[in-house]
Amino acid sequence: MIDDLTRASERSVAPGAPIDGRFPLSSMQEVFCSDERHMTDRFIVVNAWRVRGHVDTAALQGALDDLVARHEILRSVFGHDGGEPYQRVLPPCAVPLLVADIEPFTGRSREIRAEELIIEAEVGRLDPSELPLIRAQLHRFDEQDSVFVLVHHHLGMDGRSVGVGIRDLAEFYAARVAGREPALPEVRQARDFALWQRARSREWDSAEGAEIRAYWHDRLAGAQMFTLPTDRPMPERYTVPYSEHVFEYDEEFTSSMAVLARRERCSLFMLLLAAMAVLAYEIRGVTDTSFRVLTSGRNEVAFQETVGLLIDFLPMRVEIADCASFRDVLRRTRTAVAGAFTHEIPMGEITKLAPDLTRPEQNPSDCFMNFIFHQQPSAAETYPIGDGAVEIRERVLEPEQTGDMPFGSSWNLEVLPSGRFGGGVLYNRDEFDESTIARWTGAYRRILQRAVADPGAPWRRL
């Protein structure tokens, strides 16, 4: 099926030629483009790498342009003319690259200055109706130490895409410096993924998909997606950018969480979601909670190398009213997570089976929450830009502004290269006070600490 779709799309497109036709979007792109209000030019993500060694700026510019030529989505524009949202692929184009020398400074380390550069980039904008969907910056402390910043619109790249993109960029850069051809695997395009998704969705209506449909129909009967109570009603349009509240746990506590998870035959993700189920009870008094959990959306092997917005959500319903201890909550969560991933299908298909699962109009003071656990590459992984580039993931500074989300709030968690545990809650100050978010993240830490210390304790006492 995938090969047929790809061949059909290749027949319809002459390499390098303008494409007047409109291509469908992936299911997640459709969610974000379902309303013109959500096609914001602040729906951006910023990644940065500390680069050691001399950087050939001409080779870097050429590599960025090669990247856009290789991945069509980075030279696609998005439109919404009152009908179905669409994407249109355009010919290769140059990527804006800012090269700047950092002025000498006092009182701040290079690490802090690098973080400040990331925060400065996060207040930028990228119009999804204009090319390209990425831009880059190279800030040089000196000839042997730089910060490379990549800003991209989220409609064009998800988290896995960034890993693919920086790998490809490094290979294009190395090939240009060495005067050789790049060695990269074949790639499927994001529009092929969207076509595959649509063809795949028809299979859920067949007898083959009956068991999966039955699972979600029964599993979500009477379920409601978890929402956060806001300090103020959600406005029709935001008047201020999103903010991020960051927090961090030390290596010892992070290690103790991993030990508990292994002892209970759970993943760290399951432990974190179990603690969130307890926090949901503290926030709203609910014991039957469905969380909107982010997934990679890359179940099909052929699209592992695809750059685009392939992510999706899965609802994970955790019912804990009859659980006595946190250990019981953890085991109940393990069962819920395993069942959801075993029956994974696009969120759009699930909501057809459970239309009452998401009702944003249920209360103007309720805000949907995304639960995200980032699975990152090894900290030892470097990319051959200069003598090597390592992603800057550990942050000390808390940005007052960050990229927007189409709607809702996002609870992001990950294990950092140092072994510490990091988190960040994206929220909008039109809805939430910073003190409210800080109170919730403090309660989450307390729940995890007490659960790790005594998983057999009654969960309501955590």
pLDDT in tens, 123-171: 888 898 889 999 999 999 999 999 999 999 999 999 899 999 999 999 9
CATH architecture of structural domain 2-191: 2-Layer Sandwich (3.30)
Mean local confidence (pLDDT), 392-404: 79
DSSP characters over 287-340: SEEEEEEEE----SGGGTT--S---EEEEEEEE-TT--BHHHHHHHHHHHHHHH
User: Which of 35-44, 126-135, 138-147, 321-330 has the weakest average pLDDT?
Assistant: 35-44
Instruction: Please give the pLDDT value at position 240.
Output: 84
Rg of the chain in Å (alpha carbons)? 23
Q: Are 55 and 385 in contact (CB under 8 A)?
A: yes
Tokens of 351: 């909501």
- Least Cα distance to 19 among 64, 66, 79, 62 occurs for 79
Going from the C-alpha of 160 to that of each of 110, 134, 154, 335, the distances in angstroms are 28, 16, 12, 26
Q: Report pLDDT for 362.
A: 56
pLDDT score of 209 = 79
Count the neighbouring beta carbons within 10 Å of the beta carbon of residue 22. Answer: 15
User: What is the spatial distance between Cα 98 and Cα 54, in angstroms, rounded to a whole number?
Assistant: 16
Asked if the bond preceding 132 is cis, omega within 30° of 0, the reply is yes
Whether the predicted pLDDT of 338 surpasses 90: yes
In total, the chain counts a number of residues equal to 462
Tell me which of 33-47, 230-244, 306-320 is least confident: 33-47
- Looking at residue 392, what is its pLDDT? 85
Match 């200069």 to its residue by tokens: 386
101-120 confidence digits (pLDDT tens): 998 777 789 999 999 999 89
Q: Is the pLDDT of residue 7 over 50?
A: no
**Is the CB of residue 279 less than 8 Å from the CB of residue 291?**
no
State whether the Cα torsion 202-80-67-118 is positive or negative: negative
Rounded to an integer, what distance in angstroms lies between the CA atom of residue 34 and that of residue 80? 8
Q: Is the dihedral of CA 248, 249, 250, 254 positive or negative?
A: negative
For residue 20, pLDDT beyond 60: no
Do 40 and 404 meet the contact criterion of CB atoms below 8 Å apart? yes
Least confident of 195-199, 252-256, 406-410, 428-432: 406-410
Query: In this model, does residue 180 exceed pLDDT 50?
Result: yes
For residue 384, give the DSSP letter: -
Q: For a pLDDT cut of 90, what percent of the chain falls above it?
A: 61
DSSP 88-129: EE----PPPEEEEEPPP-SSS-HHHHHHHHHHHHHT----TT
The predicted structure's pLDDT at residue 341: 95
Average pLDDT value for residue range 359-368: 70
Q: Helix axis angle, 57-70 relative to 159-178, nearest 10°?
A: 130
Find out whether 289 and 277 touch, Cβ atoms under 8 Å: yes
Using one digit for the tens of pLDDT, what is the confidence trace for 258-276? 999 999 999 999 999 999 9
Consecutive H or E run containing 168: helix 159-178
Angstrom CA distances, 457 to 328, 329, 355, 443, stand at 10, 11, 37, 17
Beta strands in 174-241, from DSSP E residues, in sequence order: 227-229
Report the pLDDT averaged over residues 395-417. 81
Question: What's the pTM?
Answer: 0.88
Quote the DSSP letter at residue 20.
-
Place of tokens 């695997």: 185
CA dist 455 to 220, 263, 264, 283, 460, Å?
Answer: 28, 11, 10, 21, 12
The fold for domain 207-376+393-461 equals Chloramphenicol Acetyltransferase (3.30.559)
Q: Check: CB of residue 313 under 8 Å from CB of residue 347.
A: yes
Domain with CATH 3.30.559.10 in the chain: 2-191
Give ranges for CATH 3.30.559.30 in the chain: 207-376+393-461
What pLDDT score does 283 carry?
A: 96
Per-residue pLDDT tens for 59-92? 999 999 999 999 999 999 988 776 778 899 999 9
The arithmetic mean of pLDDT across residues 338-358, rounded, is 89
Region 385-408: what's the mean pLDDT?
A: 80
**How far apart, in whole angstroms, are the C-alpha atoms of residue 461 and residue 446?**
11
More confident residue, 440 or 204: 440
DSSP-based three-state secondary structure for 75: helix
The mean per-residue pLDDT over the stretch 169-181 comes to 97
* Amino acid symbol at 309: L
Average predicted confidence (pLDDT) for the chain: 87
CB 30 within 8 A of CB 85: yes
Tokens of 442: 């403090």
pLDDT of residue 82: 67
d(CA 367, CA 318): 19
Find out whether 422 and 398 touch, Cβ atoms under 8 Å: no
pLDDT at 407: 64
Token pair in block for residue 191: 């529009």
422 pLDDT exceeds 60?
A: yes
pLDDT-based confidence at residue 42 (cuts at 50, 70, 90): confident
pLDDT at 18 over 60: no
How far apart, in whole angstroms, are the C-alpha atoms of residue 325 and residue 329? 7
Query: Are 403 and 42 spatial neighbours (Cβ–Cβ below 8 Å)?
Result: yes
Confidence of residue 371 (pLDDT cuts 50, 70, 90): very high
Residue 300 Cα distances to 5, 106, 130, 296, angstroms: 14, 51, 30, 11
